[in-house]
Structure 1
Amino acid sequence: MKNIKFIRVSRDITQLRVQMETGISQSTISKYETGESIPTVENLLLLADFYNTSLDYLMDRTDAVTPYPKKSSSPGYHE
């Protein structure tokens, strides 16, 4: 998961700042960046929102940093 570290470093953001903004501990972020641990879906969503990117980018499935468009609510759709 090289993109999790790449996006942070390329934007000159510290792991401490990611922790403060997302609530994910610095040690957990470090484990994600080194491949020692795989992020939970909840943490992937937090990171994708923080970095304004897609889950596919964070999981190295694409090189496109641009996030997907947000889903609009439609008639009949209920969360």
Structure 2
Amino acid sequence: MTLSLVAACLWAVIATFIALGPRRFHWPAAWGLIAAGVPILGWVTLQNGPVLGLIVLAGGVSVLRWPVRRLFARLGAGEP
């Protein structure tokens, strides 16, 4: 297992513990997880190829489903 996959697994574990916490920390933590997850996703894709990159992307989207839903809602509704 490459170091990038270890980092992605650690990111998932941290995201799970954040999800278990109080709701008032979810949105600020989501922005932090996004900021940390994008470089990790690029690193995984660079080291392991696009297939594992897409698998890690799907895992990240499943963890951060509410920010993704809000993004698609804003894009679909035309809100700024």
- Normalised by the length of structure 2, the TM-score is 0.29
- Normalised by the length of structure 1, the TM-score is 0.30
| Bigger fraction of residues in helix | 2
